[in-house]
Chain A
Amino acid sequence: AQTVTQSQPEMSVQEAETVTLSCTYDTSESDYYLFWYKQPPSRQMILVIRQEAYKQQNATENRFSVNFQKAAKSFSLKISDSQLGDAAMYFCAYRTAYNAGNMLTFGGGTRLMVKP
């Protein structure tokens, strides 16, 4: 079974600065998908960014980018020019590519605080 680990329970960043959230995963599969979800205080889960394991290029979405290291099984999220609205819980998630169930395995989350 796959596992996803987020080793930083809490992180803080100054507004306008850059922060990196860590995520590692354990799998024996070669094809899979990785996601970062944001959960603000409203508790809604919002997709931030996704990465296909077969792609070497790191995904980017505006101020959000990932550093995907397949050999190291690492998938970190970088948030540039941090804004107060970025304060939330961030969850890393793994999905296998080998079945149609699309089930996600989530990490335990990192709480990001943004200081004005």
Chain B
Amino acid sequence: DGGITQSPKYLFRKEGQNVTLSCEQNLNHDAMYWYRQDPGQGLRLIYYSQIVNDFQKGDIAEGYSVSREKKESFPLTVTSAQKNPTAFYLCASSLNRVAHSNQPQHFGDGTRLSIL
């Protein structure tokens, strides 16, 4: 079955350490996204990528970095510059790169990141 796989499900980070969250999709989607969700709140966009080797900052990109070397993969690195990284991280993808399309985003199961 096609879908989005995020790993690990739970991740712990020490102070001053970078960690990378994995996101892989086999839906042949062009666009991929990373969101952050804090307890009791909605999703905020960190980064997005519309095509391979291209990505743009979202609303809260500071302290995060991404790469898009393959269509299927969009890893997110939480750097030591992110002072409050404890949150739930969701990866999503969508089919269209064309405006005026109602294609929804499909989501992975998320990664919960905690600080030790």
Contacts and interface: CB of A to CB of B under 8 A. Distances in A.
Contact of B98 (A50, A100, A106, A108): A100
A100 B92 CA distance: 15
A109 B41 contact: yes
Q: How many B residues are at the interface, by size bracket?
A: 20 to 34
Contacts of B94: 102
Interface string A78-116: 000000000000010000011111111011110000000
A100 B102 contact: no
Contact of A103 (B33, B90, B102, B110): B33
Nearest to A9: B40
Interface residues of A, number: 26
A58 B62 CA distance: 39
B4 to A, nearest CB: 10
Contact of B109 (A9, A42, A47, A91): A42
A50 B99 CA distance: 16
Given A4-B42, A45-B92, A102-B103, 8 more contacts: A45-B90, A45-B105, A98-B99, A101-B48, A103-B33, A106-B43, A107-B42, A109-B41
